[in-house]
Structure 1
């Protein structure tokens, strides 16, 4: 049931607030709302950076204050750091930082000295989050530590794209090489399936001298399953909470954010993720996307997000811990209660799951590992104890002149939006 609250022996430090940190214009972000609710229900004072005063996050009953600060993600780091420090002075006491995008996670890691004192965050190698957020950096780390990932090349010229096209087995996938595509003109709109040599070369003509893309083997949908791992690690890269689940639908289809997912116990996957993070020495919250390739029986790592994932509220332990609660407990010096993950839970993002369901139904895609029945459903937006974010989302999503519904329709028509196919 939406908004259902479980009695849990989680005793958070109510004297230490949390701040949702986000850069760029994406006001309909359910992950931030989930974090505000998760800690707010424990009595933790919550603050958030928002694009304007009328976002769903700003409407939550659990939010003490929204700091309206429109950003694009293209600002100079010094400007963003000073803005965060200004917010810290307004809050007036040490505050746990909860980044919701790569820009925020990387900025915090690379400017720990300037942000310490006013804020609490995990100690991490300052260069690591940027490398993990980079497709090329992540692939290199996977090769270094023996973690499976799709076969990938990194062309640095049009001629190298042509050479790849002459040898490649199509379809292939193109992605932007670096995570911070808002700071420059991206080569592709997102994960793009390319069906032929001619289609690849047609796209590549617009990429310039330095393509800025990676070209990756395509893992056939009929032979693969999408899995997710959400976890939190302490300063010694010791796991505080590790959760595994399977993604049933995403939007855009097969390449976008999770629209529908289930908790599924997967000890093998949890062990793989834990060992990799330990090898990296990462501290904090992670959100991993992997694709299980039935052809060779391997879990292949697609994305390593060094921050909270939008669907993190899918996962909660029997002791009432999710990754955001684990982070706050750890940074405030409190023990994180142990407990198995609540199996069978389902997560649904109301405004994108319907178009995703229609697209997946047309494609005939199924997820064999998903349970037939859910033991409980967590809705991204609707919560009985906090209804205003849902109503605000509806108002913004469907208002006259809003682009959201049109974009969903247009994406569905062309077969997947940022995951569109190029023949």
Structure 2
């Protein structure tokens, strides 16, 4: 049985379960475990789609039931929708959907009628209703850049080459270094042009990398914002059906893995009203509802926050953020969708979040580079670990068992891939 947090100043609807929805093979996902714990500790029945029965999420004592369903993220949408409906029928009652990747968030948005209708056989799923095309556009680097331009939100200068000649023309005039990223979010559907965010030092380096991009380069070439002149910020929030923020949080990213461009491994809660206002204004303009996870970089050269990534879903590090009423974005969504009041409160400024299995290599890499993070508090007011929890130990040990050998090899391969990309670009 899940432990109920007796101290919580609110009562969720424990008749409405939550369902973690994930597509693709990434079993070591701490965000899903965090969501299971967050609602499970309140007595909400929690279910999860998992790669198999031996993932950290499946091992959580706060999980009511796991649905092993191996997917790649490349399946046809109709197959994924039917699979979700089968899961819903097995649960037997409406459940709040909690997507952990872009594929899941986009699928839910684009098939809202099928997933929410009474003809599902169990009453349909609960999720924020949003314009069907919007999550896909936000998850796309090109789509997000267009929305930023349209609504006056600062973002790095970018170009989207349509041919090798466009790349060559850009190389002849661009100021280096530049950054290359995959244009679309769903790189699992085909071989990605680049592996993550790739810094390119010279025109020759760009042309060398572009030889593998084919006749239609699927990349965005973006202005490089120097780490020495920038600060990495995070915004997590939940917006209701009227685009009103029911939970709003801001923080500073201290480290990520791979370094400076990957998943957050260490972060702090830092109050930033200006950034919260910017995010609220943008969400109101585009009409988004639901949970958001934004990455922004403050460019000290011109004093602007530049939007880098918009994840239209829960971020893996969402448990960094909780307010004085013990509300995080997942709890806010569940309360709102079940007709409950979402308690307000100030965020826990100074709180820290650490992802144990990737923060050590990130720490070593950052120390080697000499980079330090502005605005990170000298001392944390409290620390939340991604995996280790006194009331739920099995996910931590399951993570270790799956991570140690293949995980170390994977971290090394990531580092080598990024190092080769940087070396080839010099």
The interval holding the TM-score normalised by the smaller chain is over 0.9
Match of 2:383 in 1: 377
TM-aligned CA distance change 1:267 to 1:70, over 3 Å: same
What is the deviation of 1:403? 2.3
What is the CA–CA distance in structure 2 between the aligned matches of 1:386 and 1:306, rounded to whole Å? 28
1:119 match: secondary structure: coil
What is the deviation of 1:421? 7.0
What is the CA–CA distance in structure 1 between the aligned matches of 2:234 and 2:21, rounded to whole Å? 23
1:38 match: secondary structure: helix
TM-aligned CA distance change 1:394 to 1:303, over 3 Å: same
TM-aligned CA distance change 1:53 to 1:421, over 3 Å: farther
Match of 1:192 in 2: 198
Given candidates 317, 322, 327, the residue that maps to 1:316 is: 322
Instruction: Could you tell me which runs of 5 or more consecutive residues in structure 1 were left unpaired when the two chains were aligned.
Output: none
Match of 1:300 in 2: 306
Runs of 4+ residues deviating >4 angstroms: 413-421
Taking CA–CA contacts closer than 8 Å with sequence separation of 6 or more, which of the two structures ends up with the larger relative contact order?
Answer: 1
What is the CA–CA distance in structure 1 between the aligned matches of 2:341 and 2:424, rounded to whole Å? 48
What is the deviation of 1:414? 6.0
Q: RMSD value over aligned CA atoms?
A: 1.5
Match of 1:134 in 2: 140
Instruction: Could you tell me which runs of 5 or more consecutive residues in structure 2 were left unpaired when the two chains were aligned.
Output: 117-122
Match of 1:405 in 2: 408
1:91 aligned onto 2:85? no
1:368 aligned onto 2:371? no
TM-aligned CA distance change 1:421 to 1:350, over 3 Å: farther
**Normalising by structure 2, what TM-score?**
0.96
Match of 1:50 in 2: 50
What is the deviation of 1:139? 0.2
Given candidates 292, 296, 312, the residue that maps to 1:290 is: 296
Match of 1:387 in 2: 393
What is the CA–CA distance in structure 1 between the aligned matches of 2:86 and 2:69, rounded to whole Å? 11
What is the CA–CA distance in structure 2 between the aligned matches of 1:370 and 1:129, rounded to whole Å? 31
1:270 aligned onto 2:273? no
Note if contact 2:205-2:424 (Cα within 8 Å) is conserved in structure 1: no
What is the CA–CA distance in structure 1 between the aligned matches of 2:175 and 2:6, rounded to whole Å? 50
Given candidates 248, 256, 269, the residue that maps to 2:254 is: 248
1:174 aligned onto 2:174? no
Match of 2:69 in 1: 69
TM-aligned CA distance change 1:236 to 1:243, over 3 Å: same
What is the deviation of 1:132? 0.1
Match of 2:120 in 1: none
What is the deviation of 1:191? 0.7
User: 1:66-110: CA deviations, max 9, x gaps?
Assistant: 100000000000000000000000000000000000000000000
1:19 aligned onto 2:19? yes
What is the CA–CA distance in structure 2 between the aligned matches of 1:302 and 1:10, rounded to whole Å? 35
TM-aligned CA distance change 1:41 to 1:416, over 3 Å: farther
TM-aligned CA distance change 1:420 to 1:226, over 3 Å: farther
What is the deviation of 1:206? 1.0
Number of residue-to-residue matches in the alignment: 417
TM-aligned CA distance change 1:416 to 1:317, over 3 Å: farther
Match of 1:148 in 2: 154
